[in-house]
Chains A and B, each alone.
Chain A
Amino acid sequence: MIARLSIGLAWTMAIGAAVFLLAPLAVIAAASFSPTPVFDLPTDGASLRWYSRIGRLEGFWPALSLSMQIAMLSTAISLVMGTLAAIAITRGKLPGATAFATALVSPLMMPGLVLGIALLQYFRAIGFTATWSALLVAHLVVTLPYVARTMIAGLARFDFTLIEAARTLGCTYPGSILRVMVPALAPSFLVAGLFSFLASFDNYPVSIFLTDVRTKTLPIKMLQYIEEAPDPTLAALSTLILAGTIVLLVLSDRVVGLHRMAGTAD
């Protein structure tokens, strides 16, 4: 009896949570087709006019381009750096490997806003004032923990004797890493890359302190639009970003499987 009740409760909570989690996403998609400038649900007739206005938002294209550049570059650099560090950690040849692993993941639990103001002051103090480079370097701290966490978990299950075998068969060390380890760990790379890209692309609290009037990332622009003049154009833009995210998730699900991502994500 109690067992059945608790299973019922668990299912109620799970279904309720699913609906609750999807509600804002569904609403924003619906509002983007609103025929009027107030966020009415499109009960009589949908309209695509807000989508055609996205490109005309003030400062939209430079912001999108900047966010893409920073997200892709910081992900690529983090993937290389984080994987190398994860190899050093999991091979057990590094003194203080556990402490290093904890330190690598620690920015994940630190308030982003605090990192933002700290970097603002630090970059000013050392005279590093180039906005674009400062953003990229700052985003490395945001993305590296995601890569390190996923790659340490992935490499802990990797059999390094495969590398030795490849070398015995005449492969060089870099060659054996590229041709044996990288393909074997493709799922981990994908998950790490996805999380890292999204973390950078969405980042607000660190970027806000490092941008200037002319150089703004997309999340900063979006919050500015929402605070100044919210209209369904923003819902349309949000829906497009969501659609892009769904495509990324479906692709990753095809390649890796979501349940494995749930495991490796922690």
Chain B
Amino acid sequence: MTDVALNIPKPAAAIDRERIAAFGFSLPSLLILVGVFALPLAQLLGVSVVGPDGKLTFANYSRLFGTPYYLGVIWNSLRLALLTTLITLAIGFPASFALARARGVLRSLLLATLFLPLAASVIVKAFAWTILLRSDGVINQALMLFGVIHDPIRMIFTETALIVGSVNIFLPFMILPIYAVVAQLDHRLSEAAATLGASPLVAFWRVIVPLTLPGIIAGVALVFSLSVSAYVVPTLLIGERYPTLATTIAKAYLLAREPGFGAAAGVTLLVIAIIVVALSARLGQQERAR
């Protein structure tokens, strides 16, 4: 806040009026946040620990964490998120450096390739991957045309298809936060490091990586929390063979009518998301404090 006018003392009545205005301004958003976000989530927590007889029970959670099948489901969600996060980071980190160096038309073009998929519907993109990866799909047709393979490879409904689709859909969420930080980097910093005798690798690890860490943390948190709860991508690209927490929740509500169990799975997914957000906020703060 560099607002000089704020430092001029004001009469108490004016300050009170501004306080009241601030409260009034935030009231509609606050009502939505409490009434349509916080309360429903609190109720969900309640539903997950109340049995059909109305008594407190942890049966839903012991079913979720005590059955090998459902432990596998939780692991499937985490595995999808971990792989997606690692691969998008490996592609996105170097790519955002190139993006930050690009100028003029090239920069506009590259940014457009980021924004267009980001603005396109997830359903449209997942559908496109089903067309690409089908046995009679574009990739198999091309491979057979060039004589690389003779018989079509089975790609759709495999874990490879799932990961490829997921990386494709969440990659912009990794690149944009890292790019936002890299674009602010002073390129003279690595020159300064070199002048002071640091090799390019050392300069990269000790100067560039720490400076881009806030962007990396933001990107990792965003991609992880989005992919751990992805629903459309696993539904269309792998289906029943790879049940995740998200597909289990949908099934519990839409097919099996087991709201208590679905709520427990929902709370679990929520806790994972909260842990990721809290960790990233904490790491981000430590970065700023240094």
Question: Interface residues, chain A, CB within 8 Å of chain B?
Answer: 2-3, 6-7, 9-18, 20-25, 27-28, 31, 38-39, 41, 80-82, 84-85, 87-89, 91-94, 100, 103-104, 106-107, 109-115, 117-122, 125, 137-138, 140-141, 144, 148, 159-161, 164, 194, 198, 201-202, 204-205, 208-209, 219, 222-223, 226-227, 230, 234-235, 238, 241-242, 245-246, 248-249, 253, 258-259, 261-263, 265-266
Contact = CB atoms under 8 A, between A and B. Distances in A.
A81 B229 contact: no
Interface in B71-104: 91-92, 94-99, 101-102
Nearest to A92: B1
B95 A22 contact: no
B30 to A, nearest CB: 7
Interface of B is mostly: helix
A84 B29 contact: yes
B59 interface: no
Given A17-B95, A21-B117, A25-B125, A114 B44 contact: yes
Contact of A223 (B36, B201, B232): B232
Interface in B92-126: 92, 94-99, 101-102, 107-117, 119-125
B22 interface: yes
Contact of B249 (A27, A100, A114, A204): A114
Contacts of A9: 94
Interface of A is mostly: helix
A14 B47 contact: no
B95 A262 contact: no
A97 to B, nearest CB: 8
A230 B130 contact: yes
A109 B123 contact: no
A17 B250 contact: no
- Of residues A15, A91, A122, A259, which shows the largest number of chain B Cβ atoms within 10 Å of its Cβ? A122
A100 B26 CA distance: 9
B171 A21 contact: yes
A204 B116 contact: no
B122 A204 contact: yes
Given A25-B125, A118-B41, A160-B5, A148 B29 contact: yes
Given A14-B110, A24-B128, A249-B112, A161 B94 contact: no
Given A94-B22, A137-B32, A266-B218, 4 more contacts: A13-B91, A235-B131, A262-B176, A265-B176
Contacts of A28: 124, 127-128, 131
A125 B39 CA distance: 11
A140 B122 CA distance: 20
B269 interface: yes
Contact of B236 (A119, A141, A148, A226): A226
Contacts of B44: 114, 117-118, 121-122
B229 A113 contact: yes
Contact of A2 (B26, B33, B200, B222): B200
Contacts of B195: none
B123 A219 contact: yes
B69 interface: no
A25 B277 CA distance: 31
B192 interface: no
B95 A13 contact: yes
B254 interface: yes
Contacts of B109: 18
Nearest to A204: B232
B175 interface: yes
